[in-house]
Chain A
Amino acid sequence: MPTVSMTVNGKTVSGEVEGRTLLSQFLREGLSLTGTHIGCDTAQCGACTVHVDGVAVKSCNMLALEADGAEVRTIEGMANPDGSLGVIQAAFQEHHGLQCGFCTPGMVMAAADLLAANSAPSEAEIRAHLDGNICRCTGYHNIVKSIQAAAAQLG
């Protein structure tokens, strides 16, 4: 089996994978980073969203081998260095932007991706950006509020 190496949340990791192993599988099963969730099989729900070289991707839609040599960031890498919640994470808690928590890692990663590109998104821009992330619990109302609050704080 081929070996794949990448940097995940700042740490260099490597492992053997099959050609068909998805990045999401490698993160969950190979690295035990189970914060990245699998909610569908058609790259629609976004629960598996991670950042690869700074861009949000659906890790169920990328082979592990395609991420060879890449910088990958997952939900486990979003807290502050001291372990406290990062600004976006804290905003989700403050504004009740999550309920069952299953879509949450993908939502946080998608929100970080948006705010990196647009520091002051409108409600419509936030909603449009979340088009590829499905939440069944919150009705998105508080997710939108959380992202607006994070944007305000990040300036």
Chain B
Amino acid sequence: MPKDHGIGASPKRREDVRFLTGNGQYTDDINIHGQSHVHFLRSDVAHGTIRSIDTSAAEAMPGVIRIFTSADFEGVGGVPCGWQVTDRFGEPMQEPKHPILAEGKVRYVGEIIVAVVAETLEQARDAAEAVVVDIDELPAVIDMKAALEDGATKVHDDLPGNLCFDWGFVEENRDAVDAAIKGAAHVTTLELRNNRLIANPMEPRVAIGDYNASNEEHTLYTTSQNPHVIRLLMGAFVLGIPEHKLRVVAPDVGGGFGTKIFHYAEEAFCTFAAKAVNRPVKWTSTRAEAFISDAHGRDHVTRIELALDKDGKFLAVRTDTYANMGAYLSTFAPSVPTWLHGTLMAGNYTTPLVYVNVKAVFTNTVPVDAYRGAGRPEATFQLERVIDKAARELGIDPIELRRRNFIKPDQFPYATPVALEYDTGNYDATMDKLVEIADIRGFGKRKAESAERGKLRGLGINCYIEACGIAPSNLVGQLGARAGLYESATVRVNATGSISVFTGSHSHGQGHETTFPQVVAEMLGIDESQVDIVHGDTSKIPMGMGTYGSRSIAVGGSAMVRATEKIIAKAKKIAAHLMEAGEEDVEFADGTFTVAGTDKSVAWGDVTLAAYVPHNYPLEDLEPGLEETAFYDPANFTYPAGAYACEVEVDPETGKVDVMSMTAVDDFGNVINPMIVDGQVHGGLAQGIGQALLEACVYDDDGQLLSGSYMDYAMPRADDLPSFTVDHSCQTPCTHNPLGVKGCGEAGAIGSPPSLVNAVVDALSEAGVTHIDMPLSPSRVWSAIQAAR
């Protein structure tokens, strides 16, 4: 029978009540007395020199408080990049200044030129229309390969060109990989594009700056996945505000998917302007603004070669990728195509040699950064597509080809040729489970049924592995991270035994307020209702690196476990005193302390009360109170892995693809709340299917974003998707964190695109189609069918 509480149970989410009754508090729901509103005038050309800005007419308009241009930001730092990649020649990447408001030039449609602060939003908007900006338009560079050609227009005049970096990994293997490919019995090559996406959390970004002149304290309310990171980046690198004078609050946040990790100019502006005008300053993004100001995702163009021996054993993988950075470097942009991508190119396989080359390129487009999966979907897509193509070329069943190359359970821990050490896994087990629950053997029958209806049915499968909870800090520091990647937690036990856990993880849909108490309550043997989670406010939580990269339970949860262990250790000392026993004889279970071999016991509440009312207390040995903090810095990533299957029906007359089923088998190690884990996978699958089938961020040659609304950018809707089949019963617990957990937030988005594309190619294989680039829109599919005929 399933558990009804604690780890492994699925209690209903406690945060739901406020969300279901309209009582959530999102940033836009906050209104501070006396607040003013800012409207940003953004560039509508992709590249140009600003000749003049005339704000005089606008300044005279009703309600206008102040109009800002870059001239008001002299001495203020640019938006910093949090990761420095070193290229394959040992040189640091090109890192252009990223101003808060455009300085001298505009470099993408959407870049802020002027900020109008007024009494009301309408007045700010009206006044912005009266601002006259004279821009000398320059040619825009949009295509990455064209951007690298000699004589191409430069996005940044002060850089040598549009190449941000040329990264090789593992550089020493380059020649060996080439030699292996040259000598191989079979080489499969594939050129593909990982389509550019826009994250589109349903809550647009919001920032409210507030300043208290009497104590010089700044507060920023912002839609962030990591308020402490914003405090660090904005405080230290942009505005020069020390931490104790800067509070960053991220209240209820309506989804993030990566795009709310980054520090944005709007946040710095509102914080800066609140002091400058001595009024709170609020900005709420419209969706139209979100499309041209939220960091975009993906956008890689790749050529991959897979070398195999005559038996289908993988000998080597080589990839050449162009990665779009956009016009400026967003916070973690350089890490995505490099360390979050190249390191995954061994996949679930024993491929001995891998070489990954990545050229990161500046273009006149919105900055590109991490989006759900961040680098790992790109790696998985190339690898699992080329394996499928190889299977077809060699006439080997795609499942069988993968099995021949799997890392076997007895090979763990397994060191890959791309620097990772996988601690655990059982890829055959997840594949076995997939074959069973996706009814792979019944596919032929279903295909025949579809054919009777004039539809082409295809089955696609793929595996994936990902690396979650990026760590440890000393390693990522060597790789170029300009931050640590630990997490902190404070467990505060109150006098009556109730608990507040202060975590640096941030919940924006993941349900931490429910899952984190499950862990603490189980460790202490108390009721979950006695434990509350506090997050999202730098004035309450000691430190936090936030939530992204599927790290919360693995890193933040582990910090909480460590702090709770310290609580238990101290509580045992207090209990020993109360029971007049030796500390080593005290046992703790189910919320009761006992002395081994006796009937002596004290309850949890007796001990916590003694800690705060220390009348009978070992004051000479122990401080009163019961509160502990832990920082947890993981020894390694965690490595969720799995096997996915997708079945599609293609209408050969129209090219329309219907997803008939999507099955996900994931190994997440131990699972805290299966209901929530299922939900995380569902959401990832929807985004993966969205990428593969629907979503396309389209720029024209002049750098105009053509897909800038929900009428143009095809978000997956309810009737685009099937119900899903998900399973996480194959569990190889992580060996290096105390909960044995891996991450589950990104798996669905990483694992699903290749299976969908493999399925469509399977359906069209008899027609001779070998590849179609995502998204597989009806016109692309139809054209591919026609071209193959």
Contacts and interface: CB of A to CB of B under 8 A. Distances in A.
Check whether chain A touches chain B (CB < 8 angstroms): yes
A131 B340 CA distance: 35
Nearest to B675: A96
B28 A38 contact: yes
Main secondary structure, interface of B, reads loop
Contact of A36 (B20, B22, B25, B686): B22
Given A35-B23, A100-B508, A136-B201, A40 B683 contact: no
Interface in A28-78: 28-29, 33-42, 44-45, 47, 74-76, 78
B253 interface: yes
Interface string A67-98: 00000001110110000010001001110101
A143 interface: yes
Given A42-B711, A93-B12, A37 B20 contact: no
Contact of A93 (B16, B28, B254, B676): B16
A41 B687 contact: no
Nearest to A20: B122
Contacts of B687: 136, 139
B682 A141 contact: yes
Interface string A130-155: 11011111111111100000000000
Contacts of A23: none
B200 to A, nearest CB: 6
A101 B204 contact: no
A96 to B, nearest CB: 5
Nearest to B676: A96
A102 B202 contact: yes
B679 to A, nearest CB: 5
B250 to A, nearest CB: 12
Contacts of A137: 202, 255, 509, 679, 683
Contact of B717 (A41, A74, A134, A144): A134
Interface string B445-489: 000000000000000000000000000000000000000000000
B717 A130 contact: yes
B743 to A, nearest CB: 16
B529 interface: no
| Range, interface on chain A | 35 or more
Given A18-B122, A140-B718, A35 B24 contact: yes
Interface stretch (B308-316, B579-587, B589-597, B719-727): B719-727
A105 B24 CA distance: 10
A3 interface: no
B510 interface: yes
A114 B356 CA distance: 52
A99 interface: yes
A101 B24 CA distance: 8
A104 B19 contact: yes
B443 interface: no
A1 interface: no
Interface in B258-296: 284, 286-288
B686 A138 contact: yes
A101 B719 contact: no
A41 B287 contact: yes
A96 B21 contact: no
B26 interface: yes
A128 interface: yes
B634 to A, nearest CB: 25
A73 to B, nearest CB: 11
Contact of A123 (B13, B203, B255, B723): B723
A39 B20 contact: no
B40 to A, nearest CB: 15
A115 interface: no
B528 to A, nearest CB: 16
Contacts of A37: 26, 202-203, 254
A136 to B, nearest CB: 5
A93 B717 contact: no
Interface of B: 12-13, 15-26, 28-29, 31, 122, 200-204, 252-255, 257, 284, 286-288, 508-511, 675-676, 678-679, 682-687, 709-711, 715-719, 721, 723-724, 748
14 contacts: A39-B204, A42-B287, A78-B20, A98-B16, A101-B252, A102-B202, A104-B20, A127-B719, A130-B719, A136-B200, A136-B683, A136-B715, A144-B718, A144-B723
